[in-house]
Amino acid sequence: MPENDGVQDEIDSTSPRGRLATRLCDVIEHRWPAEVQAIGVHGSLAHGDDRDGSDVNLTVVTYRPGAGPRPVLRKVDGILVDLHVVTADEGLRQARQLTPRWPLEAERFVTTRALLDPRGWFGRQRDAHLGRLAETRPAEFSGLARHDWQIASSAHSRAVRLAEWYETDAALVMIAESRLHAALVTGLLTRTYFRNTADAVKRTGLAGADVQELGGVLKQQAEELTARGKPVDGNLALLFE
């Protein structure tokens, strides 16, 4: 796990993605020198395994809202750039917040490599997130997992119905949604985070699951969630507990 100690981390400057990230950092630093507190990369560049087709995921931390560059998602020289902009205070608040998408969000909090970080902000973000995890009770993760399970189950039911109507393309979309949220359930129950959505379904063994297999997984997850305190289906009184 990369350490953000306030100095610039080395990324692969021989790759087109690495060169582009370095250029972007230089441009932002020189254009908004008084507004930008830190700049870092996450995703494949942070892991050092980027390749053709990889994105440049750049996070820019500003001192105040509305300062610095605007968030943007677009291609630059044929490479997709996802430019995320956040204030220092808001970024730390997000790092302390757990949501049903935690298995996809934690990666950014704990593995970002600093390209510019004289005050060690990315290290504080990582520590804030890890501290939040340390104090989180299992019941909180189970509650988030139930949310994802409901989405996965609903998508699965729609996929079954669409397949019966021979709406194959629409059914495949619903199956993909169900696979992803079932993977998030697993991630939450095991406190495992993933690099991206593809990694989530692959590492949980759901990438190739058909409707029947997916139904079996959802049934097992429902049983585990029930054993952890609350059934995934119940009467009206349980809705407001």
pLDDT tens profile 217-240: 999 999 999 999 888 998 787 767
**Nearest in space to 19 (alpha carbons), one of 1, 47, 34, 41:** 41
pLDDT class for 1, splitting at 50, 70, 90?
very low
Sign of CA dihedral 90, 86, 193, 25: negative
Strands 79-87 and 56-62: parallel
**Nearest 5°: CA angle at 27, between 52 and 195?**
40
CATH superfamily of 16-135: Beta Polymerase, domain 2 (3.30.460.10)
pLDDT single digits (tens) 13-52: 789 999 999 999 999 999 999 999 999 999 999 999 999 9
- Does residue 6 surpass a pLDDT of 50? no
Distance in angstroms (rounded) separating the CA atoms of residues 189 and 54:
29
At 54, is the secondary structure helix, strand, or coil? coil
Distance in angstroms (rounded) separating the CA atoms of residues 108 and 59:
9
At 99, is the secondary structure helix, strand, or coil? coil
- What are the C-alpha distances in Å from 9 to residues 19, 34, 45, 129? 14, 22, 11, 20
At 129, is the secondary structure helix, strand, or coil? helix
What is the average pLDDT across 93-111?
97
pLDDT single digits (tens) 172-187: 999 999 999 999 999 9
Domain layout of the chain by residue ranges: 16-135, 138-239
User: 173: buried, middle or exposed (CB in 10 Å: 19+, 13-18, 0-12)?
Assistant: middle
